[in-house]
Amino acid sequence: LYSGWRQQQLLSRLMPSITDESQKQMLVNVSKSFAEGKTSLEKYVSTVKDLVGLRLLVDAVAIGKEKEDLTVVTSVPMKTKQWFTVSSKPSSVPGLGAYASLTSVDIINQLTGNSRLSKARCNDIFWEAVWPRLLARGWHSEQSKDRGYFTSKDNIVFIVPGVKRFSRGELVKGDHYFDSVSDILTKVASEPELLEFETGGGEIREAA
């Protein structure tokens, strides 16, 4: 069910229910990580369930719905969009590409270690390991509308729990919102308690 064309078809069914671009990217990232054997089935299912909800996940699998049922064995795969490609080449850098399985301590060690992290590596750590934890703690993201007509991932603002809607004029950058991955990683490195979150048993431990 969670491999090959079935996994790609599952994503195609789930994507329309997600409006947040950062959550869509996270769904693709964790799916790719699972397909490459870097994320456990338990953690993968838990993350997908947290993103879309149990009901939508069950509906997407479509058990009992004849040709739409992803659990039915068939020799004819459904035509579906390829959301990602699986890399068969092992990384030359230990741990690179496997950040989704990092513990909170591992993440902090990566961020505060002696070696300087590249922008690409920082982005991987953020999307695969840090952002899922922040989402679970009540953070959310929005597309900033005051940087021009075209939207992109560069226009995403990340908003702390308790703030319902983004307003650059009313909110304080660094307190109420962040507009760069590097700024959030700096905050996380200085406040490790932001990562206190467990996925294994579905338990979330909030800081006091």
User: Considering the chain, what is the average pLDDT of its residues?
Assistant: 74
Judge whether 93 lies within some domain.
Answer: no
Q: Which of 26-40, 122-136, 172-186, 187-201 has the highest mean pLDDT?
A: 172-186
Q: Which of these three, 51, 68, 85, is where a domain ends?
A: 68
Are 57 and 106 within one domain? no
Within a domain: residue 148?
Answer: yes
Tell me if 87 is assigned to some domain: no
**End of a domain among 29, 49, 68?**
68
Q: Does residue 110 sit within a domain?
A: yes
What are the φ/ψ torsions at residue 46 (nearest 5 degrees)? -60, -40
- Say yes or no: 111 and 189 in one domain: yes
User: 123 is written with which tokens?
Assistant: 């982005």
Pairing of strands 140-143, 177-178: unpaired
- For 28-81, the pLDDT digits (tens) are 888 888 877 777 778 888 888 888 888 888 888 777 676 777 666 554 555 667
Alpha carbon distances (Å) from 165 to 38, 146, 160: 35, 14, 10
User: Alpha-carbon distance 197 to 203, whole Å?
Assistant: 7
Residue 152 belongs to domain spanning = 99-195
Tell if the pTM clears 0.75, that is, is over it. Answer: no
In terms of domains, do 103 and 184 share one? yes
Residue 140 belongs to some domain of the structure:
yes
> What share of residues in the chain are helix, strand, coil (percent, to 5)?
50, 5, 45
Is 20 within the bounds of a domain? yes
Within a domain: residue 206? no
3-class SS of residue 142: strand
DSSP letter string, 75-89: SSPPP---------S
Regarding whether 108 and 51 lie in a shared domain, the answer is no
149 shares a domain with 189: yes
Number of domains present in the structure of the chain: 2
Confidence at 139, pLDDT banded by 50, 70, 90: confident
CA dist list (Å): 84 to 31, 33, 34, 42, 125? 8, 10, 12, 20, 18
Q: How many angstroms from the chain centroid is the CA of residue 41?
A: 15
Tell whether 61 and 110 lie within a shared domain.
no
In a domain, 129, yes or no: yes
Asked if residues 36 and 60 have their Cβ atoms less than 8 Å apart, the reply is no
Note whether 136 and 62 are same-domain residues.
no
Model confidence band, residue 186 (pLDDT cutoffs 50, 70, 90): very high
Q: Tell whether the model's pLDDT for residue 184 goes beyond 90.
A: yes
Residue 22 neighbours by CB under 8 Å, 6+ apart: 127, 131, 141, 153, 156, 158
